[in-house]
Amino acid sequence: MRNKGSIFGIGTLLLLLSIGIPVLIQFIFILTFADYYKNGGFLPGLGHYFICVLMIIINMIAAPIIVFSNFSKHKKGDLGNVLLTRITTIFVVSVVVQIVLCIWIENPFSPSTTGLFL
């Protein structure tokens, strides 16, 4: 599992997950809170999109660093479990952080009743 092809495959998987998971969470927010986005005008979604892009950038930088650190120190049989544990931990933390930040930045549970476009 330590040849260049497997490292490239793991890196590609990490980059795809780094982009796919934040975008998937953004789509879930759009589907779940459709009235919030539809009735609020253009600006209510900007905070969520900003957090989505921020999480993509953070995941693309941090995930390969965390997963491939100490890559050569693990035994061959233990490497699969270590990689799976690290990848799962990184993206679970990423999902929780993105959801908390999206709700904290723009709370879709209490839409604005001011009637303004903002």
Q: How many domains does the chain have?
A: 1
Residue 116 lies in a domain: no
Residue 65 lies in a domain: yes
Residue 90 lies in a domain: yes
**Residues 62-78 pLDDT 10s:** 888 888 776 666 666 67
Residue 118 lies in a domain: no
Q: What is the pLDDT of residue 36?
A: 75
**Residues 32-57 pLDDT 10s:** 887 777 776 667 778 888 999 999 99
Tokens of 61: 């930088």
Residue 19 lies in a domain: yes
Residue 114 lies in a domain: no
Residue 38 lies in a domain: yes
Measured CA to CA, the distance from residue 118 to residue 112 in angstroms comes to: 9
The domain of 54 spans 4-105
Measured CA to CA, the distance from residue 109 to residue 5 in angstroms comes to: 46
Q: Which residues of 90-115 are buried (b: 16+ CB within 10 A; e: fewer)?
A: bbeebeeebeebbeeebebeeeeeee
Q: What is the pLDDT of residue 111?
A: 56
Measured CA to CA, the distance from residue 43 to residue 41 in angstroms comes to: 6
Residue 25 lies in a domain: yes
Distance of CA 50 to the CA centre of its chain: 12
